[in-house]
């Protein structure tokens, strides 16, 4: 076991001892000028669970993920794996898939993955090849990422996020641009990640996906967490048959939709 | 009745948004669309005003030097630069915009109206620099007592700028099928900007009265012979009309091509399978820095220091200029200044992928070390021929000291650039065109201080060793201060 790998495991053990959470967010506020995108948000992602941030467009899901990654200025507390706030040393323990694929477009997928492996000091060639095969990227390995389709760019971003076997995955609408087969493969990988003790913070606005893959859900609206619980708890609380109905009730959009439909 | 101008105004807002998003530092879509469009307009306004000031300045210098006709070339070059630089960024970013033509195709509009709308909206991306250029050069002509040179320069430079940028668009459209040649064409787009910048300095060396009379009929040069109503004036007006017509045709063709070619061709280059190569983190960073900068529009900046000695020193030797130590010292300092654009190119090409760098365990210091290594290598590759030439011409051996130590200013500039880069990716909302412009100015200031201290010491006490040491110390102080700020910044 290399030094980097040993250090990584020790860091992870420290995170496990820390109340068993992978991510803790307290009183998070994100502002863009006068606009407050996230208002005093608090939630926790436990070890071995998929926590889903669910909300309409502009609810603050992406801003929350950007704050966790230190990509935007924020107020409040963020603790990642018990290692503290986002910093270069924490990054080796996180895998990220952004809404827009975060890749270096001038490079080829091969160059990009080699770069990530070199800088992180973690590279398992067998895993890299397995992921490349799983997402059918082999024939594009030496094509500049800029010339790839949106779907293939997203696949490169996903492989990049999974390559170093991170303990925590932050996924912001990760199924964007993916074909049905790749979505299924990715869902299976997520499941295995959880079974091996990893955690996932998952952001989406697709109810069906949230209900299927998430252990707990936090519903965000206008930057505020309005309800939180397992999918069945949320449905029960809202006295709704489906998560979609519960969600619409939670954000008070059910009556609005009725009125719209009557007007058509 | 649908008005092409109104339609183009709406489309222009979309183009501004797309252009702004494409040039955005973080590479992420802006949260506030209105603010994004406002920022794009503000950026265009600031650059136009700054360039307008520059036209005024460069157009006045020949008048002060009693060579008023040369202000034609100066305003031509600056106007060309303004129009070309302001449009090329936007149009290249639009090559990835797939939906605009499709959007217009869904509306019940005449194809002719669609074509006019597209041309007009593309023109709007460069309208302000054109208006500023014409206004400033007209004011300059009036201030010179009615001498037409600045105005003629602007009227020729503007269509030439449009032709050059649209020419690049048309070539780039053909090369889109191949990502590598596409990148090369984009990188080459920097060449007219570099050549225009260099030409501004050399223009003043021209003696207009010593020109061959046959040249009074040649494009651009014909304007220098204007002394009143006569053949040179008529020929010049004819050239202005010809350039304008060609610019219009190219604008129309490029806009059609730009918005029509919505299908991105995906090229697959299958190579023999090979294993992944994992490197030392610093080496990997240096490799990615080099790859990214060579494949970006910044690639042309590499040509500056490397090609500099070819242009200046060899030109001087060929033209029979005696290479004296002072001239060599000036060449070295100019080379040092140009080398500072290497880290500038490295950091700027990194801005598009800034999010990726934020998600990796790369500290700003490690990133800086990578840039410093590349800058040092580039400096010594560029300066080695100068050292050999100095030895060959038996210039004083002490002259080798400033040549050896002039890496100091680019090193200081690299550290300052690291601070600006960190500040930018934290901010993440500034249009990169404006940022690039401001950064270039700051880098020149940081470089200028040690170089000025060298020349000041040279004038005061003479020699080459002590002035070189003073320059080196000043640049190291700049470097140390920048490093402290960078360390503090990275702790936050």
CA distance B55 to chain A (A): 35
Measure CB to CB from residue A149 to each of B266, B291, B361 and give the nearest one.
B266
Residue from A73, A74, A11 nearest A42 by CA: A74
Q: Do the chains contact at A102 and B356, CB–CB below 8 Å? A: yes
Phi, psi dihedrals of residue A174, rounded to the nearest 5°? -70, -20
pLDDT at position A110 is 92
pLDDT at position A9 is 44
User: Who has greater pLDDT, B218 or B362?
Assistant: B362
Half-sphere exposure of A100 (CA within 13 A, CB side): 15
How does DSSP assign B144-197, residue by residue? TTS--HHHHHHHHHHHHHHHHHHHHHHHHHHHTTSHHHHHHHHHHTHHHHHHHH
User: Who has greater pLDDT, B326 or B483?
Assistant: B483
**Which of B33, B176, B359 is the mutation pick for testing A, counting most A CBs within 10 A?**
B359
Q: Give pLDDT < 50 ranges for chain A.
A: 1-17
Measure CB to CB from residue A118 to each of B35, B278, B426 and give the nearest one.
B278
Res B309 pLDDT > 60: yes
Q: Do the chains contact at A71 and B355, CB–CB below 8 Å? A: yes
Total of domains in chain A: 1
**Which of A70, A88, A148, A160 is the mutation pick for testing B, counting most B CBs within 10 A?**
A88
Q: Is B291 on the interface with A (CB under 8 A)?
A: yes
Q: Report the side by side order of strands in the sheet with A35-46.
A: A35-46, A21-32, A75-80
Share in percent of chain B as helix, strand, coil (round to 5): 80, 0, 20
Q: Indicate the Cα dihedral angle B467, B473, B474, B476, nearest 10°.
A: 140
pLDDT at position B291 is 83
Average pLDDT, chain B: 76
Measured CA to CA, the distance from residue B63 to residue A100 in angstroms comes to: 53
Q: Is A130 on the interface with B (CB under 8 A)?
A: no
Q: Per-domain residue ranges for chain B?
A: 4-260, 286-491
Q: Is residue A240 part of a domain?
A: no
pLDDT at position B395 is 85
Who contacts A210 (Cβ-Cβ below 8 Å, separation ≥6)? Answer: A52, A54, A202, A204, A217, A231, A243
* Confidence class for position B210, pLDDT limits 50, 70, 90: low
Measure CB to CB from residue B352 to each of A72, A105, A120 and give the nearest one.
A105
ipTM score assigned to the predicted complex = 0.78
pLDDT at position B196 is 67
- Tell the residue number behind the tokens 């650039």, with chain if given: B417
Contact of B349 with B298, CB cutoff 8 Å: yes
Q: Do the chains contact at B295 and A94, CB–CB below 8 Å? A: no
Residue-wise pLDDT for B34-45, tens only, equals 666 677 777 778
Measured CA to CA, the distance from residue B51 to residue B53 in angstroms comes to: 5
Q: Do the chains contact at A143 and B267, CB–CB below 8 Å? A: yes
**What 8-state DSSP symbol labels residue B219?**
T
Q: Indicate the Cα dihedral angle A204, A206, A212, A215, nearest 10°.
A: 40
User: Who has greater pLDDT, A198 or B347?
Assistant: A198
Residue B199 region by backbone torsions, left for phi larger than 0, else alpha for psi between -120 and 50, else beta: alpha
Domain that holds residue A54: 3-229
Residue-wise pLDDT for B122-173, tens only, equals 788 788 888 988 999 899 888 887 778 888 888 888 998 888 888 877 776 6
User: Who has greater pLDDT, B267 or A147?
Assistant: A147
Who contacts B173 (Cβ-Cβ below 8 Å, separation ≥6)? Answer: B95, B257, B258, B261
pLDDT at position B178 is 56
Measure CB to CB from residue A70 to each of B179, B278, B358 and give the nearest one.
B358
Most confidently predicted of B85-89, B95-99, B258-262: B85-89
Q: Is A32 on the interface with B (CB under 8 A)?
A: yes
List the single residue in B with minimal CA-CA distance to A67. Answer: B426
Res B428 pLDDT > 60: no
Q: Which of these ranges, A209-218, B219-228, B362-371, has the smallest mean pLDDT?
A: B219-228
Mean pLDDT of B187-212: 66
Res B435 pLDDT > 70: no
Measure CB to CB from residue A147 to each of B28, B179, B288 and give the nearest one.
B179
Q: Is B269 on the interface with A (CB under 8 A)?
A: yes
Q: What is the largest CA-CA distance in chain B?
A: 78
386-445 of B, contacting A, C-beta below 8 A = 426, 428
Q: Is residue A106 part of a domain?
A: yes
pLDDT at position B338 is 82
pLDDT at position B405 is 93
* Confidence class for position B430, pLDDT limits 50, 70, 90: very low
Q: Is residue A151 part of a domain?
A: yes
pLDDT at position B189 is 67
Q: Do the chains contact at B179 and A146, CB–CB below 8 Å? A: yes
Mean pLDDT of B195-222: 67
Q: Is A149 on the interface with B (CB under 8 A)?
A: yes
Q: Is residue A246 part of a domain?
A: no
Three-state SS for chain A is: CCHHHHHHHHHHHHHHHCCCEEEEEEEEEEEECCEEEEEEEEEEEECCCEEEEECCCCCCHHHHHHHHCCCCCCEEEEEECCCCCCCCCCHHHEEEECCCCCCCCCCCHHHHHHHHHHHHCCCCHHHHHHHHHHCCCHHHCCCCHHHCCHHHHHHHHHHHHHCCCCCEEEEECCCCCCCHHHHHHHHHHHHHHHHCCCEEEEEECCHHHHHHHCCEEEEEECCEEEEEECHHHHHHHHCCCCHHHHHHHHCCCHHHHHHHHHHC
Measured CA to CA, the distance from residue B335 to residue B306 in angstroms comes to: 9
Res B454 pLDDT > 60: yes
Question: Which CATH number covers residue A21?
Answer: 3.40.50.300
Q: Do the chains contact at B355 and A102, CB–CB below 8 Å? A: yes
Contact of B355 with B27, CB cutoff 8 Å: yes
pLDDT at position A6 is 42
Q: Do the chains contact at A114 and B281, CB–CB below 8 Å? A: no
pLDDT at position B231 is 74
Measure CB to CB from residue A96 to each of B273, B275, B359 and give the nearest one.
B359
Who contacts B256 (Cβ-Cβ below 8 Å, separation ≥6)? Answer: B115, B118, B119
pLDDT at position B177 is 52
Q: Which of these ranges, A192-201, B177-186, B283-292, B329-338, has the smallest mean pLDDT?
A: B177-186
Most confidently predicted of A250-254, B194-198, B220-224: A250-254
pTM of the model: 0.67
CA distance A100 to chain B (A): 7
Total Cβ atoms within 10 A of residue A179 = 12
Q: Do the chains contact at A33 and B277, CB–CB below 8 Å? A: no
Chain B residues touching A119 at Cβ < 8 A: 281, 284-285, 360-362
């Amino acid at each position: 076991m290399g030094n980097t790998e040993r250090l990584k495991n020790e860091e992870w053990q420290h995170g496990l001892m820390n109340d068993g959470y992978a991510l803790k967010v307290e009183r998070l506020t994100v502002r863009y000028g006068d606009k407050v995108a996230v208002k005093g948000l608090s939630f926790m992602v436990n070890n071995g669970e998929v926590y889903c941030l669910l909300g309409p467009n502009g609810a603050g899901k992406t801003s929350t993920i950007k704050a966790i990654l230190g990509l935007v200025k924020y107020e409040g507390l963020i603790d990642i794996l018990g290692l503290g706030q986002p910093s270069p040393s924490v990054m080796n323990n996180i895998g990220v898939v952004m809404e827009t694929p975060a890749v270096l477009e001038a490079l080829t997928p091969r160059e990009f993955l080699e770069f990530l492996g070199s800088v992180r000091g973690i590279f398992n060639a067998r895993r890299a090849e397995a992921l490349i095969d799983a997402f059918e990227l082999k024939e594009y390995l030496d094509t500049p990422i800029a010339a790839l389709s949106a779907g293939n760019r997203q696949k490169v971003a996903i492989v990049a996020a999974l390559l170093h076997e991170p303990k925590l995955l932050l996924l912001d609408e990760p199924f964007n641009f993916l074909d049905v087969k790749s979505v299924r493969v990715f869902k299976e990988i997520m499941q295995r990640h959880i079974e091996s003790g990893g955690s996932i913070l998952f952001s989406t606005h697709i109810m069906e996906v949230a209900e299927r893959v998430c252990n707990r859900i936090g519903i965000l609206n206008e930057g505020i967490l309005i309800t939180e619980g397992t999918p069945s708890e949320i449905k029960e609380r809202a006295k709704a048959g489906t998560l979609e109905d519960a969600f619409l009730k939670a954000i008070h959009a059910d009556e609005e939709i009725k009125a719209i439909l009557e007007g058509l | 009745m649908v008005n092409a101008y109104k339609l183009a105004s709406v489309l222009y807002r979309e183009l501004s948004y797309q252009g702004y998003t494409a040039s955005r530092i973080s590479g992420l879509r802006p949260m506030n669309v209105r603010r994004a469009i406002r920022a794009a307009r503000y950026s265009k306004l600031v650059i136009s005003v700054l360039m307008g000031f520059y036209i005024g300045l460069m157009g006045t210098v020949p008048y002060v030097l009693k060579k008023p006709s040369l202000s034609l070339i100066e305003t031509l070059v600056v106007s060309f630069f303004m129009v070309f630089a302001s449009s090329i960024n936007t149009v290249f970013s639009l090559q990835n915009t797939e939906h605009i033509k499709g959007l217009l195709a869904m509306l019940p509009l005449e194809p002719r109206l669609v074509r006019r709308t597209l041309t007009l909206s593309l023109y709007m991306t460069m309208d302000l620099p054109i208006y500023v250029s014409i206004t400033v050069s007209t004011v300059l002509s009036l201030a010179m007592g009615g001498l037409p040179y600045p105005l003629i320069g602007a009227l020729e430079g503007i269509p030439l700028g449009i032709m050059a940028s649209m020419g690049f668009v048309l070539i780039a459209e053909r090369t889109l099928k191949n990502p590598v040649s596409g990148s090369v064409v984009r990188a080459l787009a920097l060449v007219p900007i570099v050549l225009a910048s260099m030409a501004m300095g050399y223009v003043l060396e021209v003696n207009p009265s010593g020109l061959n009379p046959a040249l009074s009929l040649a494009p651009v040069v014909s304007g220098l012979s204007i002394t009143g109503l006569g053949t040179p004036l008529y020929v010049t007006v004819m050239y202005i009309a010809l350039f304008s017509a060609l610019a219009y045709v190219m604008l129309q063709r490029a806009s059609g091509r730009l918005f029509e070619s919505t299908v991105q061709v995906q090229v697959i280059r299958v190579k023999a399978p090979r294993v992944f190569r994992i490197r030392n983190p610093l080496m990997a960073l240096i490799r990615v820095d080099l790859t990214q900068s060579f494949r970006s529009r910044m690639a042309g900046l590499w040509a500056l220091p490397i090609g500099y000695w070819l242009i200046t020193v060899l030109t001087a030797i060929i033209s029979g200029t005696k290479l004296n130590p002072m001239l060599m010292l000036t060449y070295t300092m100019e080379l040092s200044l140009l080398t500072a654009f290497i880290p500038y190119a490295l950091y700027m090409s990194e801005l598009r992928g800034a999010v990726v760098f934020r998600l990796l365990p790369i500290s700003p210091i490690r990133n800086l070390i990578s840039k410093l290594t590349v800058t040092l290598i580039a400096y010594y590759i560029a300066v080695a021929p100068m050292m050999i030439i100095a030895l060959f011409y038996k210039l004083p051996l002490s002259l080798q000291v400033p040549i050896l130590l002039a890496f100091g200013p680019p090193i200081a500039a690299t550290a300052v650039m690291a601070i600006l880069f960190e500040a930018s990716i934290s901010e993440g909302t500034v249009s990169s065109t404006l940022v690039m412009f401001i950064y270039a100015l700051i880098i020149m200031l940081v470089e200028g201080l040690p170089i000025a201290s060298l020349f000041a010491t040279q004038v005061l006490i003479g020699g080459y060793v002590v002035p070189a040491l003073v320059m080196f110390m000043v640049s190291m102080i700049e470097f140390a201060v920048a490093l402290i700020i960078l360390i503090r910044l990275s702790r936050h």
